[in-house]
Amino acid sequence: MTNPAGTHPAGANPSGIGASIRRREDQRFLTGRGTYTDDINRPHQVHAFILRSPYAHARIGGFDLTAARAAPGVVAIFTGADLVADKVGSLPCGWQIHSKDGSPMIEPPHPPLVTDRVRHVGDQVALVLAETKAQARDAAELIVVDYQELPAVTGTRDALAPGAPLVHDQAASNLCFDWHLGDPAAVDAAFARAHHVTRIDLINNRLIANAMEPRAAIGEYDRATDDYTLWTTSQNPHVIRLLMGGFVLGIPEHKLRVIAPDVGGGFGSKIFHYAEEALVTWAARKIHRPVKWTADRSESFMSDAHGRDHVTHAELALDANGKFLGLRVNTIANMGAYLSTFAPSVPTYLYATLLAGQYATPAIYAEVRAVFTHTVPVDAYRGAGRPEACYVIERLVENAARELGIDRAELRRRNFIPPSAMPYATPVALEYDCGLFHRDLDEALTLIDYAGFPARKADSARRGKLRGIGFANYIEACGIAPSNIAGALGARAGLYESAEVRFHPTGSVTVFTGSHSHGQGHETTFSQLVSDRFGIPIDKIEIVHGDTSKVPFGMGTYGSRSLAVGGSAIAKAMDKIVAKGRKIAAHMLEAAETDIEFNAGRFSVAGTDRALGIADIALSAYVPHNYPLDELEPGLDEQSFYDPKNFTFPNGCQICELEIDPDTGVTKILAFVAADDFGKVINPMIVEGQVHGGIAQGIGQALMENCVYDSQSGQLLTGSYMDYCMPRADDLPSFQVAYHEEAPCTHNPLGVKGCGEAGTIGGSAAVMNAVVDALADRGITHLDMPATPERVWRALRDAMPAQAAE
C-alpha cells in the first residue's frame, strides 16, 4: 500500500486527497445518534402492518375483513381492490431488455397489493393501519383470506421445464426474455479451430442482502398544501420520487418530497422502489394521518430483493499455446415473481458485457434467458452481474490451466490485454480505458508469496489437511454510466449525477450531492475533495444528501458510482466556484483575470505576493461592495450535472489460500490478498474498509450464504439467521490489501474508478478456485457454491470412496 491507513502524505493538506482521515459520520453512528427512518416519528402517525402471503402461489377467492376491522385500535384496512379503485399503478421496471427476435421482455404488472393471486411467499396481501404496531399485527391475524393454493416453481432451471407452473399467464414457459450479446459465428469459428476446450456447468447461488437496518417507510400528506413526504430507507431518493410519483401514485415532483435519512446499509437492496413506499404514501392521504412501517427481520428475508441466482454453462476455446480463442456462455437468470426496478439489466448489460474480463479473448457470445419463478424478486446485489461474470471467467481460466498443465499465473499473463492495447474495445460492447493487469497480478503474487505455496501445501499435507490457492483477476464496469449509452441499452433513466457547492459568506461550505451514503463514508470522502481544492479544514464543510427538497437532483448510489460520478459532479461545481472566484479576485486585486492563479484556496496575481483567500472572495461575493456587479452576479453557489463519458473500470487481482479438513469438509481461509487499481484514491482507509467488506461478502457467498426454497411447497427455508448463514468476523482471515494509482481513470476529472464492489466481484471466484485447487488432487474439478462442509465432504467421499470412510 502506497499510503497506509491512518497517514497522509507529508506536507500535504491533512484532510485533502490521499489522507486516511477517520470517518466523520462514525461518531454519530457509533454513539447511537444517527437518525434512521425508524427513529423518526410523526405527530398522530399510525402504524402499518402488511399481511403477506404464506403461500408461494395461490388464488385469492376473497377476504373477510369484518373481525379485523373491529379489532382494537384499527384505523383502516386496505386490499388490492382499494388500490385499483384509486387507479394506483404497478411498481415500474426501470430497464427494458429486448429478446433476440426483437420483441420486448414480458413485463407483467407488479401491484403494491395483490388482487387475485399471490406469487411468492411474502407477497403483499393487505395493509392494516392501527394506533400501535402490535394492534395492527393483532388485527392482521383476524383477516380471513380465501387462498386456493396452486403449484409453484422456485428453481431457476425448473422454471423452463415443460409443464412447470406458470407465474404469469402472459409469460409462456415462464420466459421473461431470451437475450444475447456478441458474435455467434465468430465464436463458432474460434471453437472449430481450438486446440482445447474447457467446459463448466455452474450455479451462482441466490443471496439475501441482509442490510443491518431493515427497510422502513413513513408517508405523510398535508391537506392544506397537497404536499406528500416520504421518509424511506433508500439508496436513491430522487429515483424513488420519480418512479413512485410518476408511475405508481401520479404525484408530480413538486408535490412529493422523498427523504432518505441515515441508512444502515443497502448492498443494492435499497436501490429499488418497493411496494411499502407507495402504500404508506397513498394511505397517508386516504386516512389523513402519517403512516409508518418498519420491516421486522423475518419480513426482510421475504420482501427485500434477493441477488444472483444464475445457472450457467460456459466453454472456453484455447489454442496450443494457451491463448484464449473464444468464449461461449449460456445462462438462465432467475427474476423471481416480478421484475424489480433494475432486475433485467443485471444478468444482461451488467453481466455479459464483462465476460471479456482482463483477457484479449477475440470472440465472445453470451445467451441469457431470464425466467419468472414463485420467489422474491431478484435484483442488483453488491457487484450485480459482474461477480457472476467474473465467476464464470475465472473458474474457466483456472480449470483450463489445470487441464493444460500451465501455471495459473502464466496462463493469465499470456492472455491479459496489454497496456499498449488500451483503450481496448472488447467483443462485448465495452471500451476499457486503462488497466495494468500484469502489475496487479505481480503485486498479489508477492503479497501471497506464491513461490512458497508448494512448501506450505506440503506442510498442510503432513498435518492431514488439503491446501489450495485460487486467483480471481477481475475487472468491473462502474460509475454507471453515460446516459446515452445506458439509454441505448434499455435504461429508462439518465445516469448522471448532480452537485451543488454553496460557499457561505464567512467561508464555510455546504455541498449538496445526489449520491447517497448508506455506509460508504461520503461525508468524509466528499469533504476531502472540497478541503483539498479550497484549502479549508474539514469542519467547515458539510455534505448534504438524501433529501429531494434540498438536493437539486440525484441518481443515487450503486454500482460503485458515487465518487466517479457524484464526486466528479462536485469537482465540476468546484471548477465553477473557482472560475467565478477568479473573476472576483481579479477585480479585487486589480489584475487581469488571466493573471490570477488559484492554488489550495488562494487566488494570487502571478509573479507577485498579492493574494486573497477564497474566504475573502466568498465574503465579497455576498457583501459586494467592491465587486464587479456589472459583470457578475453576487453569491458563490454553483451547480453541476455530470454525465460521464464512459464507465470506469476498476480491476485487480485477488488470491485466496485456504485449507480443507478432509475429515469434516470444513474450509478455513488462511490468507486473502487483493492488489487493486481504483485509479486515484481519496481516503485509503475508507477504500481499504470497502475492500474488506466486499471480500467478506464474496467469501460469504462462496462458503456460507445460500437462499434456499423448498422445491415442492415454495417455502423460503432460509428465512432467518438460524438457517441463512452470514459470514462473521471469526470466519474471516486478516486481509492484506494493496492498491496502486498508476492508471488513473482517463475520462473523469478526479481520475477515480470506484471501489465499493471490487472485493465482492472477485471474492467468491478466488475462494472457489482455491477450494477446487485443494480438492484437485482427488480428481474434483468443480463444486458449486456455497462450499459447505457437507458439500466438500461429499465431494471427497464420492471422489475417493475408500478414504472417505476414515
Q: How far is the CB of 729 from other proteins (least distance, A)?
A: 11
Q: Are 309 and 156 in contact (CB under 8 A)?
A: yes
* Ranges within 119-148 binding other proteins (CB under 8 A): 134, 137-138, 141
Binding mask 649-688 for other proteins (x = CB under 8 A): --------------xx------------------------
Q: Which is nearer to other proteins, 314 or 660 (CB)?
A: 660
> Beta strand 196-208 with 216-222: parallel, antiparallel or unpaired?
unpaired
Q: Which is nearer to other proteins, 99 or 788 (CB)?
A: 788
Residues written for the chain = 806
Q: Which is nearer to other proteins, 266 or 662 (CB)?
A: 662
- Residue 790 interacting with other proteins (CB under 8 A): yes
The closest of 654, 617, 657 to 638, measured between CA atoms, is 617
- Cα(347)–Cα(390) distance, rounded to whole angstroms? 12
Q: Characterize 693-713 residue by residue with b for buried, 16 or more Cβ atoms within 10 angstroms of its Cβ, and e for exposed.
A: bbbbbbbbbbbbbbbebeeeb
Q: Which is nearer to other proteins, 56 or 477 (CB)?
A: 56
Q: Which is nearer to other proteins, 137 or 504 (CB)?
A: 137
- Residue 724 interacting with other proteins (CB under 8 A): yes
Q: Which is nearer to other proteins, 224 or 722 (CB)?
A: 722
Q: Which is nearer to other proteins, 141 or 222 (CB)?
A: 141
Q: How far is the CB of 275 from other proteins (least distance, A)?
A: 23
- Residue 793 interacting with other proteins (CB under 8 A): yes
Mapped onto helix, strand or coil, the DSSP state of residue 744 is coil
Q: Are 523 and 517 in contact (CB under 8 A)?
A: yes
Cell digits of residue 494: 439518465
Q: Which is nearer to other proteins, 693 or 727 (CB)?
A: 727
Q: Which of 132, 484, 726, 803 binds other proteins (CB under 8 A)?
A: 726
Q: Characterize 577-615 residue by residue with b for buried, 16 or more Cβ atoms within 10 angstroms of its Cβ, and e for exposed.
A: bbebbbbbbbbbbebeeebbebeebbbbbeeeebbbbbb
Beta bridge partners of 466: 660
Residue 416: phi and psi, rounded to 5, are: -60, 145
Please return the burial class of 454, using the count of CB atoms within 10 Å of its CB with bins 0-12, 13-18 and 19+: exposed
- Residue 42 interacting with other proteins (CB under 8 A): no
Q: Are 691 and 674 in contact (CB under 8 A)?
A: yes
Q: Which of 718, 736, 746, 781 binds other proteins (CB under 8 A)?
A: 718
- Residue 414 interacting with other proteins (CB under 8 A): no
Q: Which of 708, 732, 776, 800 binds other proteins (CB under 8 A)?
A: 708
- Residue 723 interacting with other proteins (CB under 8 A): yes
> Beta strand 291-294 with 46-52: parallel, antiparallel or unpaired?
parallel
Interface with other proteins by CB under 8 A: which range of 372-380, 422-430, 767-775, 784-792? Answer: 784-792
Cell digits of residue 287: 386516512
Q: Are 472 and 763 in contact (CB under 8 A)?
A: yes
- Residue 715 interacting with other proteins (CB under 8 A): no
- Residue 729 interacting with other proteins (CB under 8 A): no
Q: Which is nearer to other proteins, 451 or 805 (CB)?
A: 805
- Residue 404 interacting with other proteins (CB under 8 A): no
Interface with other proteins by CB under 8 A: which range of 276-284, 327-335, 512-520, 721-729? Answer: 721-729
Q: Mark residue 122 as left, alpha or beta (left: phi above 0; alpha: psi -120 to 50; beta: remaining).
A: left
Q: How far is the CB of 485 from other proteins (least distance, A)?
A: 41
Q: How far is the CB of 664 from other proteins (least distance, A)?
A: 6
Q: How far is the CB of 717 from other proteins (least distance, A)?
A: 6
* Ranges within 596-655 binding other proteins (CB under 8 A): none
- Residue 483 interacting with other proteins (CB under 8 A): no
Q: How many of the chain's residues bind other proteins (CB under 8 A)?
A: 23
Stated as kind and residue range, the H or E segment containing 798 is: helix 789-799
Q: How far is CA 21 from CA 9, 18, 287, 758, in A?
A: 12, 9, 48, 22
Give the CA count within 13 Å in the CB-facing half-sphere of 288.
4
Residue 242: phi and psi, rounded to 5, are: -65, -50
- Residue 103 interacting with other proteins (CB under 8 A): no
Binding mask 292-331 for other proteins (x = CB under 8 A): ------x---------------------------------
Write out the residues near other proteins by the rule CB under 8 A.
134, 137-138, 141, 298, 663-664, 704, 708, 717-718, 721-726, 731, 788-790, 793-794
